[in-house]
Amino acid sequence: MTTARDREMQQWMDAWHASDEASAAPEAIRRHVGRRRLLFAFWVGCEIVVCGGMLSFLLHRVLTHPDPVEKLAMGLLALITVSALAFSWWNWRGVILTGTGATSAYIALSVERTRRFRRAVYVGWAILAAEVAVFVPWISYRLYAGPDAPPAGAERFGWGLLAGITAAAVVLLSGLHMWTRREARILDELRRELDEGVRS
Amino acid sequence: MEVVLDQPMAHDRETRYLRLLSEHERAIRRLASSYEREPARQQDLVQDIWLALWQALPMFRGDCSERTFVFRIAHNRGVSHIQRWRRRRTEPLEAAAPIPHGAPDPEHVATERERRQQLQSAVQRLPLGLRQVIVLALEGLSHHEIADVLGITENNVAVRLTRARAALARALGSSGER
C-alpha cells in the first residue's frame, strides 16, 4: 500500500533524476584521468631520478674521494638519505592507497594519514638537525682546514647557503606542522557533522 | 538493478572503467551536486571521483556490488572535497544560496527544473550525515546498501533517513513530518 510519505519520496526521486542535463563529461573525464595518470607517473619518475641521482652522487664521492673527512661527510649524508627513504616507506605503508572502504572507515583512514603526516614532520625536524650537524663541520673543514684563510666569497657562499636552506626547511616544517593541526581539526569537525543527524 | 560481478578480474581495468563511467556518470554528477553548488568546483569534484575510481578499481574484489563500490568512492571523495575547501578557508557549501521558492503557492506550477533546483538546494542544506543518506536513498539504494556505503548500521540509516525526509519536507514546504 502506498502511503503519502512513499508518494512524496517518489516525487523527490523523480525530480532528483528528472533534470539531468546532457553532458559531455565522460570524454572530459577520460582526458582528465589520462592527464592525472601521466602527471602521477612523471612525479614518481622525478622522485626516483632525484633520490637515485643524489644517492649515486654521494656514494660515488664516498668510494672515489681521497680525503677521509669528505668520505665520512658524504657517507653520513647518504646514510641520512637512505634512513629518510626507509622511514618514509615505513611511515606511509598501508595508508597511501585510495580509500575504498565505507565513509566511516575513510574518515578513520584520513585521521590516520594526518597522524602519520605529523610523525613525518617530527622526523623531518630530526633529519634537518642531522643534516646541519653534518654540514657545519664539513663546511668548516672545507673552509678552514687549509693553511690559508678562505676567500671571503666562498665563506659567504658556504654559510649563506646552509643558513638559507636551513631557514627554508624550518619555515616549511613549521608550515606543515600547522597544516597537520588544522587538518586534524577539520577531520574532527567532519566526524562530528557526520554524526550530527543521529545525535541531534 | 544491482550487478554483482561473479568474476571481478574478468574484464580488464580500462574496459570496466569505461563501463562504470557510462553507467554511473549521471548518478555521480547528482551526488557531486549535493557536496558542491558552484559548477566549476562541482565539475572538479566529478573528475576527482572518477580519478579516485580509476585508482581504486584494481582493489575491487567483488565483496560488494559495483554500485556500492562506486558510491563509496564517490562519497569519500565528497568528504575530501569538503575537507579541501575548508582547508582553504572558503565559504562552506551549506551557507550559500537560498532555496528558490514556489512550492507553497498552489497556483504556481513549478517546472521540472525548478523542482529539481529546490530539491537540490534543500538537500545541500542538510547536515552532512543526513545529506549522504538522503542522496543515496534518492538514487534508489536500499537501507542495506546505504549502510554498506557509509559504514553505519541499517537502524542508523533508518533514523537518519526519517530525519532527512522530515527536514526536506520542511524545507520544501510540503507535508513535513507525519
| Domain ranges for chain B | 1-96, 98-178
Give me the percent of chain B exceeding a pLDDT of 70.
78
**Residue B175 and residue A8: Cβ atoms within 8 Å?**
yes
Residue A186 forms contact with B (CB below 8 Å): yes
Please answer whether residues A111 and A187 qualify as being in contact, where contact means their C-beta atoms are separated by less than 8 angstroms: yes
Do A62 and A79 fall into the same domain? yes
Round to whole Å and give the CA distance between B121 and B126. Answer: 9
- Out of A12, A37, A186, the one facing B87 most closely (by C-beta) is A186
Same domain, A66 and A129: no
Given the candidates 1.10.10.10, 3.40.50.720, 3.10.580.10, 4.10.320.10, the CATH classification of the domain at B98-178 is 1.10.10.10
Which range has highest mean pLDDT (A14-28, A83-97, A142-156, B143-157)? B143-157
Q: Which of residues 109-138 of B touch A (CB under 8 A)?
A: 112-113, 115-117, 119, 126-130, 132-133, 137-138
Residues A119, A158 share a domain: yes
ipTM of the complex: 0.74
Q: Say whether both A111 and A187 belong to one domain.
A: yes
Q: Residue B55: which of A117, A99, A184 has the closest Cα?
A: A99
Q: B4 pLDDT band (50/70/90 cuts)?
A: very low
Q: What is the pLDDT of residues B17-48, one digit of tens each?
A: 888 888 888 899 899 988 988 888 888 898 88
Do residues A69 and A166 both lie within one domain?
no
Q: Are residues A187 and A169 in the same domain?
A: yes
Cell numbers for B110: 513549478
What's the structural domain count of chain A? 2
Please tell me what DSSP assigns to residue B108.
-
Q: Are the beta carbons of B29 and A99 separated by less than 8 Å?
A: no
B66 touches A at CB < 8 Å: no
Contact B112 A19 (CB under 8 A): yes
User: Which residues of B are less than 8 Å from A13 in CB distance?
Assistant: 138, 140
Over residues A13-41, the pLDDT tens digits come to 888 887 555 555 567 777 777 777 788 78
Point out the domain boundary residue: A70, A93, A116.
A93
More confident residue, B175 or A84: A84
Q: Say yes or no for a CB contact (<8 Å) between B178 and A30.
A: no
Chain B CB contacts of A190 under 8 Å are 79, 82-83, 128
**Any CB–CB contact under 8 A between B40 and chain A?**
no
Please tell me what DSSP assigns to residue B96: S
pLDDT in tens, A134-180: 999 999 998 988 888 888 889 899 999 999 999 999 999 999 999 99
Å between B120 CA and nearest CA of chain A: 8
Is the same domain home to A138 and A200?
yes
What is the sign of the dihedral through the CA atoms of B109, B113, B114 and B118?
A: positive
CB distance B134 to B165 below 8 Å: yes
Give the mean pLDDT of B121-143.
91
Q: Indicate whether A155 and A122 sit together in one domain.
A: yes
Does pLDDT of A107 surpass 90? no
Architecture of the CATH domain B1-96:
Orthogonal Bundle (1.10)
What are B84's three cell numbers? Answer: 579541501
Domain that holds residue A60: 41-93
Predicted local distance difference test score (pLDDT) of residue B160: 93
pLDDT of residue B174: 63
Residue B162: predicted pLDDT: 93
Cβ(A84)–Cβ(A105) below 8 Å: no
The answer on A88 and A136 residing in a single domain is no
- B56–A106 C-beta distance less than 8 A: no
